[in-house]
Amino acid sequence: MSQPARVDNNAQTVVMDASDFEFETIEHRNGNAVVIRFPLQNPSVVAGDVVVVLSGTEIHFHGMIFGVENGYATASDPRGSLLPATVQ
């Protein structure tokens, strides 16, 4: 069952390191993952939060989490993703 969106107006940013970030590609464009599903380590993450995947200072994915279900989050970065469209 999906979590309802948080009632307050403060979204949190979840920062992940690209070198050990595990994700599944749901949608891709030009070889890059634009919608991903990934396991959550933090149970306080909810729909409306933001995920940023970094390699050093380079942003590989920056998107809104739009779904949280069964310990996984789904997020979208339709314009700037640099994550390869693979299952890791």
Return the CATH number at 58: 2.40.240
| CA–CA distance, 64 with 52 (Å, rounded to integer) | 9
Which residue segment(s) compose the domain that 17 sits in? 13-76
Q: How confident is the model at residue 2 (pLDDT cuts 50, 70, 90)?
A: low
Residue 18 is predicted with a pLDDT of 94
pLDDT tens digits for range 53-78: 999 999 999 999 999 999 999 999 98
The total number of structural domains in the chain stands at 1
Please give the structure tokens belonging to residue 23. 């994700």
pLDDT value at residue 61: 96
- Examine residue 4 and state whether it is found in any structural domain, yes or no: no
pLDDT tens-place string over residues 8-50: 568 899 999 999 999 999 999 999 999 999 999 888 999 999 9
DSSP string of 40-86?
-S-TT--TT-EEEEEETTEEEEEEEEEEEETTEEEEE-TTT--SBSS
Neighbours of 73 (CB within 10 A): 23
Report if residue 6 sits inside a domain: no
Assess whether pLDDT exceeds 80 at residue 6.
no
